Amino acid sequence: MGEAIRIWVDDRESRSSDLGRRLSEVEGVSVVVKRLRTGDYLIEGKVVLERKRVRDFLESLKEGRLFAQASMHILTGIPKVGPTRARRMLEHFGSIEAIVTATPEVLAAVEGIGRRTAQHIHWAVHESPEPYRA
């Protein structure tokens, strides 16, 4: 078997759910509990998952927060993009589609997004799925 799959579990999530403990019992999975900037689970530093109970999901939907929360989480799921950078990019571009189709040069025009970060964002949203296929 290869390297263990790394999953980080937000410490607040680990107190309210035993999913992190159950994941740590799975062979080939390495679990680390720590405070995450966004989401409840971070898989291999690439995928952020937000777990919602049905009641929370319905309340978010009813109050109109669900799509705003999802938009910010999509961007903050990209490594090196926190809430401030995500907000600045959304204000600058107006949509997630415009952000993910932007060139690194255009991304770098956003305040707080340097050339290296822009290249990293562009790479993250255009990464080939090949390394993940079995």
The ranges assigned to domains in the chain are 5-51, 55-128
Q: How far is CA 115 from CA 41, 48, 89, in A?
A: 28, 24, 14
Residue with token string 């530093």: 45
How many whole angstroms separate alpha carbon 41 and alpha carbon 31? 10
Question: Quick one: pLDDT at residue 105?
Answer: 96
pTM of the predicted protein model:
0.50
Strand intervals (E) in 27-128: 29-34, 41-43, 47-49
Per CATH, the number for 55-128 is: 1.10.150.20
Report the alpha-carbon distance of residue 44 to residue 74 in Å, rounded.
16
| Secondary structure letter of residue 118 according to DSSP | H
Radius of gyration of the chain from Cα atoms? 17
66-90 residue pLDDT tens = 666 666 777 887 878 888 898 899 8
Q: Is the pLDDT of residue 120 over 70?
A: yes
Span 41-68, pLDDT tens digits:
888 887 888 887 788 778 877 776 666 6
Both tokens of residue 10?
Answer: 């937000």
